[in-house]
Amino acid sequence: MDVNRVKQILSSSADINVLYNGASVWIDELHESGKLVTVHLRGPLEERTQVAVEDLVEVD
């Protein structure tokens, strides 16, 4: 995924399915560097982690 798409997803009210390592995640924040985002798994666990933007995959 690229930074522009991350920005679009963050500003959208739509439920956009994004995967990280095969797991469905919510994008919480794009970091100033533009290379990292904070995500958390969809579901009851709220543990947040920083991952590379390029490691995210949007599912149609």
Q: What is the CATH number of the domain that holds 32?
A: 2.30.30
Mean pLDDT of 40-47: 85
- Looking at per-residue pLDDT, the higher value among 46 and 15 belongs to 15
pTM exceeding the 0.85 threshold for the entire prediction: yes
Helix (H) / strand (E) containing 7 = helix 3-11
Average pLDDT over residues 39-57: 92
Count the domains in the chain.
1
Give the domain extent around 44: 3-58
Per DSSP, the chain holds a count of helices (H) and strands (E) of: 1, 5
pLDDT at 45: 76
Residue whose C-alpha is closest to residue 39's, from 31, 8, 29, 17: 29
Q: How confident is the model at residue 46 (pLDDT cuts 50, 70, 90)?
A: confident
